Amino acid sequence: MSTTTIPAITRDPEIHSGAPVFTGTRIAVKVLFDYLEDGQTVGDFVSHYPSISREQAIAALEEVEELLGATA
């Protein structure tokens, strides 16, 4: 049995000029980082953006962490 994992982050030149967004939405991933930078939590973010699940937000953070680890 194979499992297909859908990335939490999508980049499409037709959506937000290619800025990374949460897959299936038009919500820029940067918004999550802005929340965290302002001292807010992932819970705060998902309560303001109910189309993003906590799991999807965490998965996006993990994808970014993996990307940064690959380039370090």
Percent of the chain exceeding pLDDT 70 equals 88
Per-residue pLDDT tens over the stretch 6-41: 689 999 999 999 999 999 999 999 999 999 999 999
pTM for the model? 0.84
Domains of the chain with bracketed CATH: 9-71 (1.10.10.10)
Question: Does residue 71 have a pLDDT over 90?
Answer: no
Work out the end-to-end distance of the chain between its first and last CA atoms, rounded to an integer number of angstroms.
34
Residue 3 pLDDT: 41
**Whole-angstrom distance, CA of residue 6 vs CA of residue 40:** 26
